[in-house]
Amino acid sequence: MAYTKEVYDLALSEMEKRRTRAEQELEKRREKFYAVCPAAQKSEEEIVKISVAAGRAVLSGSDIREELSSLRDRSLVLQGQLSDMLEKNGFSQNWLEEWYECKLCGDKGYIDGRMCSCMKNLLKKISYDQLNMISPLSLSGFDSFSTSYYSDKPLSPGKRSPREIMTKVENYCRRYAENFSDESNSLIFQGDSGLGKTHLSLAIAQTVIEKGYGVIYVSAPAVFSKIEQEHFSAYSENRGDTERLLTECDLLILDDLGSEFNSKYTASAIYNIINIRILSHRPTIISTNLTIPEIEKQYGSRLVSRVIGMLDRVEFVGTDIRQIKRRERKNNK
C-alpha cells in the first residue's frame, strides 16, 4: 500500500522521537543506578574504553589476536561485575540497555533495508488519524451514554418502552465492541436524529481502537466530498487513496449515510466500498436516518438488495434526546 510523502515524513519523525525517548530514559536509569552504586560508572566507562581500544587494534593491521582476546576477557569480567552490581542493588539485568518500543528494529522502522511491522502499523495509524480528523467528532465512551433520557412509557399498550429497547441496544453495542474481531458482523443503525446512533457508534470505535484495531470513523458528507475532490481533480496524486483506506481498515464506521451530497459518483463509491468490505469480511457500521425504502430511492435497489440486506439492523427509538438535554439545561439555569 502506498502512502503520501507527508504520512512517511510523520512516521519517520515519530520513529526518531521514539529512539530519542529510549536514549533519554536509558540516561535517567543509568544515573539512578550510579547514584546507589558509584562503582558501576567506572566499570561501564572501562568497558567503553576497552571497545575503543579493540577498534583501534583492529585498524592497526598488525597481528592482534592475542591483544583482542585479552581485551575480550577483561570486558567479560567487567560485564560480570556490572551484572552482579545490578542484581545486588535490585535492578533488572536489562537496566542499562535501551528499552525500545519495538525490539525487532530498535525503533528504526527498518531491518536490513526492509520495513519493520511497527513502521507499517504506524503508517496505517497516521493515515487513519488523518482521515478521522475530517470528521469533527471526539470519541465518547459507553460510560457517558445514559438510557434515562429515553421514555419508560411503552410505545403502545403491551409493547416495550423506548428505555427497555435502548437498554438492549446499548448492551448489544457493548458486547459487539468488547468481542470485536475480523469475524464480527456488519451493522446498520437506523432511527431518527438525536437518538444516540452517533454516540454509540463512537463508543464502539473507542473500544475497538483500544483493542488495537485500525478504525476509521467518518461522516458520510465529509468523506464523500473528499473522495469526489480526489477523483475529479486532474492533478491529485492521492487519487483513490481515501477509498482504499476506507476499504482496507479493520472497522469502518460510516456516520449519517444519506446526508451527503448525492451524486451518481458518490452512490457508486458507497456501493463499491461497502460491497468490497462485505465480500472480504471486513466489518462495517453504517448509521442513517433513512428508512430502507428511502435508501433504495436515494441509492438504487442494488445497494439495498446486495449490501444493506447483509447488515444486521439495530433500530433506535425514542424522542430526540438532544432536545430533552437542551430543555434540561435551560431549566437548570
**Does the protein bind Zn ion through residue 223 (CB under 5 A)?**
no
- Residues in contact with 242: Cβ distance below 8 Å, sequence separation at least 6, in sequence order: 131, 223, 226, 227, 230
**Does the protein bind Zn ion through residue 204 (CB under 5 A)?**
no
Whole-number Å distance between alpha carbons of 202 and 132: 11
Task: Report the relative pairing of strands 110-111 and 114-115 from DSSP bridges.
Answer: antiparallel
Number of residues that bind Zn ion (CB under 5 A): 5
Nearer to Zn ion, 105 or 200 (CB): 105
Nearer to Zn ion, 116 or 295 (CB): 116
Site string for Zn ion, 74-103 (x = CB under 5 A): ----------------------------x-
Shortest distance, position 110 Cβ to Zn ion, whole Å:
8
Among 15, 22, 86, 105, binds Zn ion (CB under 5 A): 105
**Does the protein bind Zn ion through residue 104 (CB under 5 A)?**
yes
Nearer to Zn ion, 67 or 101 (CB): 101
Residues between 115 and 154 with contacts to Zn ion, criterion CB under 5 A? 116, 118
Shortest distance, position 102 Cβ to Zn ion, whole Å:
3
Nearer to Zn ion, 100 or 189 (CB): 100
Shortest distance, position 116 Cβ to Zn ion, whole Å:
3
Shortest distance, position 106 Cβ to Zn ion, whole Å:
8
Nearer to Zn ion, 108 or 174 (CB): 108
Task: Give how far the C-alpha of residue 167 lies from the chain's centroid of Cα atoms, to the nearest Å.
Answer: 28
Nearer to Zn ion, 94 or 323 (CB): 94
Shortest distance, position 17 Cβ to Zn ion, whole Å:
14
Looking up cell 530498535 gives 106
Residues between 267 and 326 with contacts to Zn ion, criterion CB under 5 A? none
Chain positions contacting Zn ion, by CB under 5 A: 102, 104-105, 116, 118
